[in-house]
Amino acid sequence: MPAHRERDGGLGGLGVKRRRAPLFQQPLALGVGRLALRRDDCGGPGGARSTRPRRGRLVLEQRLTDDATRVVLARVELLPVDVVVVGAHLFAHAFFRPIGEVAKAADESRELRGQRRQAFWPDDDDSDQPDEQQLLKRQAEGHEPRIARKPGGFPLGWATEEADVPSKDLSWKYIEQSVVEPDAIAAARVTADELGTDPVSPATGAQLALMTAAAGAKTIIEIGTGVGVSGLWMLKGAPDAHLTSIDIEADHQQAARRFFSDAGHPASRVRLITGAATEVLPRMNESSYDVVLVDAEPKGLIDLLEHAIRLVRVGGVVLVPHALWRDTVADPAKRESVTTDRRGIIAELSQSPAVHVALSPVGDGLLQIVKRSA
């Protein structure tokens, strides 16, 4: 019997001939129910049974499973060749389906890589080159790369959404703890805490020493003596410099004098002036200091900075601790006058052609200003 045969009476006995489609073309939703082997009774003349072997037929009962109902299809007679086709189809489906899923995943991966490359270079004519080569080539041509970012704000490839991003607080804490203060400075810090003053942090002090050493400072003026913590750090970087320190608190300066002496700085190179800085600074010589430190009361900082820039020489450095003022400057919701004054100072100096400006986050913030011209 041929594998594809025509059968009569397919539509209500109207004699319309219908060709049965091969099973491997039928939907997989047609689940194989069961294969039943039965003998066909081929009766002879007069009702006598035929002596030839009865022909075996495989009957496949197919059922279509639907979400709502189960439809039972008509029985379809199968030859052994049909069973082979069904088995081959099922085997091929089970074997090739995982391969198709792998191929689909590979296509999606290639598409994702294409999107990431497009995120770096919107008009990418060299897509066959590695991203690193494209980056160097575009930068040589003067193009700025556009880095695609994840929703969290980190560039692609830097951090995943599941990755833990280290906190900056840990870095700042590490920086502060990595500084080893000399004994005289450590003792002065203890006294400052007892008197309620707000000295510079150890990391800020280390940066003050670095700046005075880099400037080769010979003359330093300090606005806000405290008990001498910041002055001791600056003299650590420039031990041969002459320090002039101004403060309105005589008791604080008396303690500072003791700590300067304990650190080995002779009184001839440390001059302490008691009084208001706004009254003392106008009498100081213009452009006569290598380094000026402004660490006074937060009010009136703008006027003190004008004096400091006038007093420092061209190429000299003006240093302003507590520039971030207890982390309020970076918070746009903070509108106190002390905070807004510091924001305005940073913004104005950053746009001025007369100075170089850098803002360091160490401690409570350190604003560094280098005078470019008189």
**231 shares its domain with 364:** yes
Please determine, for residue 123, whether its predicted confidence score (pLDDT) is greater than 80: no
**135 shares its domain with 205:** no
**241 shares its domain with 337:** yes
The count of C-alpha atoms lying within 13 angstroms of the C-alpha of 334, restricted to the half-sphere facing its C-beta, is 16
**226 shares its domain with 366:** yes
Most confident of 16-20, 117-121, 165-169, 233-237: 233-237
- Give the residue-averaged pLDDT of 313-326: 96
- Give the residue-averaged pLDDT of 281-302: 93
Rounded distance between C-alpha atoms, residue 135 and residue 148, angstroms: 14
**102 shares its domain with 156:** no
Please determine, for residue 95, whether its predicted confidence score (pLDDT) is greater than 80: no
What pLDDT, on a 0 to 100 scale, did the predictor assign at position 132?
A: 53
In angstroms and rounded to an integer, the radius of gyration of the C-alpha atoms of the chain is 44
Please determine, for residue 92, whether its predicted confidence score (pLDDT) is greater than 80: no
Q: What are the φ and ψ backbone dihedral angles of 65, each rounded to 5 degrees?
A: -90, 125
**133 shares its domain with 62:** no
Classify residue 167: in a domain, yes or no. no
- Of the three residues 161, 187, 214, the one that is the final residue of a domain is 161
Per residue in 46-81, pLDDT tens?
444 444 444 444 444 444 444 444 444 444 455 555
**307 shares its domain with 225:** yes
Classify residue 47: in a domain, yes or no. no
Q: Higher pLDDT residue, 293 or 68?
A: 293
Whole-prediction pTM: 0.58
What pLDDT, on a 0 to 100 scale, did the predictor assign at position 41?
A: 44
Distances (CA, A) of 92 to 63, 82, 85, 97, 317: 21, 15, 10, 8, 79
What pLDDT, on a 0 to 100 scale, did the predictor assign at position 114?
A: 53
Q: Which residues contact 168 (CB under 8 A, 6 or more apart)?
A: none
What pLDDT, on a 0 to 100 scale, did the predictor assign at position 73?
A: 42
Please determine, for residue 101, whether its predicted confidence score (pLDDT) is greater than 60: yes
- The token duo for 193 is 């805490």
DSSP string computed for 25-57: GS-TTEEEEEEEEEE---B-GGGPBPSSPPPEE
Indicate the residue type of 115. Q
Domains held by the chain: number: 3
Per residue in 11-57, pLDDT tens?
444 344 444 544 444 444 444 444 444 444 444 444 444 444 444 44
76-80 LR contacts (CB < 8 Å, sep 24+): 76/20, 78/23, 79/1, 79/3
- Give the residue-averaged pLDDT of 297-308: 91
Please determine, for residue 232, whether its predicted confidence score (pLDDT) is greater than 50: yes
**1 shares its domain with 105:** yes
Tell me how crowded residue 100 is: count the other CB atoms within 10 A of its CB.
9
Per residue in 336-353, pLDDT tens?
999 999 999 999 999 999
- Give the residue-averaged pLDDT of 135-142: 56
Most confident of 1-10, 26-35, 84-93: 84-93
What pLDDT, on a 0 to 100 scale, did the predictor assign at position 168?
A: 81
Per residue in 178-214, pLDDT tens?
999 999 999 999 999 999 999 999 999 999 999 999 9
Classify residue 336: in a domain, yes or no. yes
At residue 283's C-alpha, the angle toward residues 282 and 287, to 5°, is: 80
**141 shares its domain with 227:** no
Q: Which domain holds residue 155?
A: 125-161
Mean pLDDT of the chain: 75
Band (pLDDT 50/70/90 cuts) for residue 2 is very low
CATH code for the domain in which residue 272 is found: 3.40.50.150
Classify residue 49: in a domain, yes or no. no
The count of C-alpha atoms lying within 13 angstroms of the C-alpha of 365, restricted to the half-sphere facing its C-beta, is 17
What pairs with residue 6 in β-bridges?
A: 19
What pLDDT, on a 0 to 100 scale, did the predictor assign at position 24?
A: 42
What pLDDT, on a 0 to 100 scale, did the predictor assign at position 374?
A: 77
Of all residues in the chain, the percent with pLDDT exceeding 70 is 56
Of all residues in the chain, the percent with pLDDT exceeding 90 is 52
Residue with tokens 């995982």: 98
What pLDDT, on a 0 to 100 scale, did the predictor assign at position 297?
A: 81
